[in-house]
Structure 1
């Protein structure tokens, strides 16, 4: 069944200088917040995604309006060009040949509509590649996986259950719902209801089950939500509230085409393995990953089916057998460097890509590097990471959502508002919206002894205004040290008349030690507390655990379950981790 990667969060706090010119100013409408021009946000995003492959990925995920999709019928001259190509290389007679045991919810019309939703599937190539051949190979590859995921798996000589003597590779699409499940059953709700970004972005509906449905057995709320966004112009709630549509409409096949076209960084999209748009990185080559059907297995289910330990396992053996039967029947050309198997490949979930410079990622995460020349040392940028997050580099507008943290997924991230046009400098001197050269006392929030402040934060205290020079907590601004006075009056020296006497003042206290003048700021103030003794601190891409092992991440402790890979970083209880008290 289709399972995309769960969330992970990596926190770093290393000293950095600004990589982009950004006009970041205090938000006059929100004390403590900031405003950034949209042009600066767009320029930063463009610089981070200037590799041509990002445009290829985004193009592959473009969709046709649903009203036009539902007008598609076999044989219509008005059908989209990619649908007409699919009809030409895979007519309805071939559909019937491969679906002799299929559930009635799967039809040729729905198959064409699923293709029509995604113009890149069976689309045109302008660089000399044979679009018809790629289309046919893509369809046959999809059917090999359908035969494994939802097939009958009945031997040809079992005349009782297979009276027509169909080959197993002719038995695709038998199941439309996961065996043992039916509509009305709540289930597959692992992770639902948590206080995390996945639930804020893809909230589970009461009483709904997110068990496997459709040709690729779409499962779990975070996949239903993401697929719903692709199908319904960004609206995740349609399929979260009515997941049965993935079984009972053309979405039962569209979910498989969507998965076929979607890269799960660092995994490539299966289409781009087949049409060779994807070029494997050196790390992938070193791990035995290259072109061929075997890599599509690694993309779908590499953690369970790839690697030498799985060489004789039933699932990959079946997939390969179905592919080879279909490939032989349809005479699909196979290049000399294509490999059908993946036992010789390292599963993607075990691939250590730390430090790799030739691997592209597809999700945005807050960049926590400390920038000394920006307010509070915050970068106000997002970076590309190799795990699922709330924000996709392939979805227009998601970089801005990441910077403004729409789904409240970041850690200690200030509130950011993006504005059109440049920031109005106002009549006063200096940067910012209408600055005052000497703000009046009380213009900034009152200093709080328990609050953490970082460089650039401003407070009012004892009749003066102060700005933090670096990270500080509990240091009275009036004493200097990590604070500099930027306005107001000097805190009064003489006490007020008739002050209340202190209760039991200490006898002959030691005189206070004068704070050093402009000490060097501490480098990288601690983000996470020290892990408990004997508990491993999680490092994504490196830490390897077994079920039952305890790790710490972000100051919390977690126990592993369901074999998390090295990228399944723990941040909250989910399919792979249980959050437990740190002891």
Structure 2
């Protein structure tokens, strides 16, 4: 028996509305992170590092996208402009911290003491050093410990994992970002608030305007590449 015409049209209408909703959502957040962080965009950063840099054989767009898949709110919160500004901000800091993906580990980091003994909740392990590693140069025992717990590796006993596994390396950067920088940049506080969250004690309030300006320069360049206005409050 043939269905009444109105009933035949109902499933088609539902499908059309579903696809319209998906399209509207994509327009709202500016598309996927993979669609914004193209291979060309990624290569435009890493290709500025010398071919002798350790990071050239370590950091990849594929590792970044795999890591980003664990943080669905990254680059997808708010408007299309918000998404692109967040991605531009993240890569601006990564560029500054790693020298265009040149460095995996902090220069002369092994000679530094990044053990905060007052943080008894994340006790340092003898023989381990918590110097900067990865895209945002994760530092200190009180960051390695909780990052490892959240991601699934022993950050206190095996901090070197961040320098040996590219996906985990990017995940630690995104873990730090989502806990400290995501809300400021997506809520309209501006790029300057992310500088303060990452290295404010050493750079903000006139302490090191040169490095602040370097970060801002990368950010505004990446905003230009991604076709978005950088917004206000760029410095700290």
**What is the deviation of 1:175?**
0.6
**Cα distance between partner residues in 1 of 2:83 and 2:164:** 26
Where in structure 2 are there 5+ consecutive unaligned residues? 1-28, 50-54
1:316 matched to 2:198? The reply is no
Residue matched to 1:292: 190
The ranges of structure 1 where at least 4 consecutive aligned residues each deviate by more than 6 angstroms after the TM superposition are none
Would the aligned equivalents of 2:85 and 2:230 in 1 still touch at CA under 8 Å?
no
Task: Identify the match of residue 60 of structure 2 among 107, 112, 134.
Answer: 107
Q: Of 32, 37, 55, which residue of structure 2 is paired with 1:85?
A: 32
TM-score, normalising length from structure 1? 0.32
**Aligned counterpart in structure 2 of residue 116 of structure 1, from 63, 69, 76:** 69
Q: What does residue 178 of structure 2 align with?
A: 261
Q: For residue 245 of structure 1, what is the aligned residue in structure 2?
A: 161
C-alpha displacement of 1:332: 1.6
CA separation in 2, counterparts of 1:326 and 1:334?
9
CA contact (8 A) 2:135 2:169 kept: yes
Match of 1:354 in 2: none
Does the 8 Å CA contact 1:148/1:318 hold for their aligned counterparts?
A: yes
Length, aligned pairs only: 200
Match of 1:98 among 45, 48, 72: 45
Tell me which residue corresponds to 2:21: none
Match of 1:176 in 2: 104
User: Could you say if the C-alpha distance between residues 189 and 87 of structure 1 is closer, same or farther in structure 2, counting changes exceeding 3 Å?
Assistant: closer
Q: What's the counterpart of residue 220 of structure 1?
A: 140
Aligned residue number for residue 578 of structure 1: none
1:274 aligns with 2:190: no
> Counterpart of 1:202?
122
Q: Deviations over 1:507-553 (max 9, x none)?
A: xxxxxxxxxxxxxxxxxxxxxxxxxxxxxxxxxxxxxxxxxxxxxxx
* Matched residue, 1:340: 234
Q: Deviations over 1:488-513 (max 9, x none)?
A: xxxxxxxxxxxxxxxxxxxxxxxxxx
Alpha-carbon distance in structure 2 between the residues aligned to 1:133 and 1:239: 35
Mapping 1:370-449, distance limit 5 Å: none
Within-5 A mapping of 1:361-372 = none
| Residue equivalent to 1:329 | 225
- Deviations along 1:543-573, one digit per CA (max 9) or x if unpaired, are xxxxxxxxxxxxxxxxxxxxxxxxxxxxxxx
Structure 1 133/313 Cα, relative in aligned 2: closer, same or farther at 3 Å? closer
Judged with a 3 Å threshold, the aligned counterparts in structure 2 of structure 1 residues 191 and 89 are, in CA distance, closer, same or farther, namely closer
Q: Which has the higher contact order (CA 8 A, sep 6+)?
A: 2
From the superposition, tell whether residues 256 and 248 of structure 1 become closer, same or farther in structure 2 (CA, over 3 Å).
Answer: same
For the Cα contact (< 8 Å) 1:210–1:220, is it kept in 2? yes
Displacement after TM superposition at 1:319 (Å):
1.1
Which of residues 188, 192, 195 is equivalent to 2:113?
188
Specify the structure having the higher radius of gyration (Cα). Answer: 1
Q: Distance in 1 between matches of 2:44 and 2:175?
A: 24
Residue 90 of structure 1 contacts residue 136 of structure 1 at CA under 8 Å; is this kept in 2? no
Q: CA deviation at 1:231?
A: 0.9
Residue deviations 1:125-171, cap 9 Å, x none? 5xxx42x44332212111111122111xxxxxxxxxxxxxxxxxxxx
Aligned-partner Cα distance in 1 for 2:230–2:134: 29
* TM norm structure 2: 0.75
Q: What CA distance in whole angstroms lies between the structure 2 residues aligned with 1:326 and 1:146?
A: 12
Partner Cα separation in structure 2 for residue 221 and residue 208 of structure 1: 10
Q: Distance in 1 between matches of 2:149 and 2:107?
A: 26
Aligned equivalent of 2:203: 305
Q: Distance in 1 between matches of 2:63 and 2:168?
A: 8
1:306/1:225 CA distance change after superposition, 3 Å: same
